[in-house]
Structure 1
């Protein structure tokens, strides 16, 4: 009799598959004929399990989603590293400011002891670049200025530009470029500089919002797109070089961390999108030097980033 068990199992599976297929065929044939019915949670219907408080996210996000699930009796809020320290830093309460300074002092002393024991964690000496020629320091100063004028929490670009710059119609794009011409020219000038160094920069202090890189790149690429559409290929090409230069300034210094590396990767995607969807299609087919555009955008084979160096940059910025 036990030899029949595998056959019975296979028969049941085939029967279930046939039955589910029949239901699918009926649903497809009657699609749109009936009003949608809200699916209720049922332990017998796996398709409804995701309705139980979003449990489907658990498989993708892990234990953090389980712990923040509103129906979890042991629920706790998601805590981000450094959240309390940032709250103290941004507080106007003198007691909070005093506590912030105390914790920073303790942290600095602890870091110094660790550096004595593990000197390889120290940031390497960066190259010497005169301050007036140091594109990295100028970029950080500009980003800090942007943070100050936009409340410190809203990086570039403007809301009407966010995520759709390469899709905007020409009139809307021209209005945005005209309104932000001074910012574009500043970013372009810094991007075309060749020297960058983190000497004289303390990553432990409140650093400017690095996400400004993506917003600044969006403005520059929009300017390049309009220049190409107007036939000014030289300006468009140089603006692409400037955009790529901003990335080099941000990640080409000793203090660069993993966040900066990820942002530069996202910016490279921005450049590719603009080139393929907006800039190159607007140029005359017989006048495109693809090798020149590829070199300007840095789209060739690239050396993998120094991940250990980025981790060291993160540790020193804590």
Structure 2
């Protein structure tokens, strides 16, 4: 492992500066778990192979996680480190052009992951461990500031209360992520390395998650880059009907294209190639990118 005392720069050819509205980055989900809701890489070898596939299909960032977001058996800090760090080390060696993110809420795991080669901390549980931002600052790493409505880690949304106004979930979520972003800056994280994530489905029902996406411009207008982790989530399945995660790809792609058009700078996904295609078409329609192959009508 690298010396944990030495701050690490953005790794390789892709940095957070490259991800922006009009040029969104693709963050591939790599779950080094046994019980994730959609896909798991049970062994380190499977996780490394999943990274290879994701990079080949167009991922700029890989988000490596060792603990299922939802309920499940307890995973100790040591076990989480053992799950993610060997994968991070291997990816840092084989893909220096890819930014490595670690999905964790625990500063001990974040410290070990940054020492192993991670350049970004995806704090899915909204700053429940305030030391996480200090780890990011100490390693010159990026950090994702999310919103969970006050839920502790690994719990499910249940009868949350945002008031009677349809827009209150937007206001409360915006207030939450901005507060965490300010805390990260106070801890020493550079502003350009702070990402905000409205976090649909976490502490929110499907109506509230959909309302967040309708109001996505409010998050973009903060000046922080916006990450959306919407891949195959429950609100997508409920928008379609009673649809299981393995049948939610088309719905996810629709949400992805709309979110990119609204200014999302990063899309976290299980399906890199389909997401890359959706982004290409969305940006061609908005005029932020040209079509990649234009011969129709010219022959």
Q: Which TM class, normalised by the smaller chain length? A: under 0.3
Larger Rg: 1
TM-score norm. by structure 2 comes to 0.24
Which has the bigger relative contact order, CA under 8 A and spacing at least 6? 2
* Higher helix fraction (1 or 2): 1
TM-score norm. by structure 1 comes to 0.23
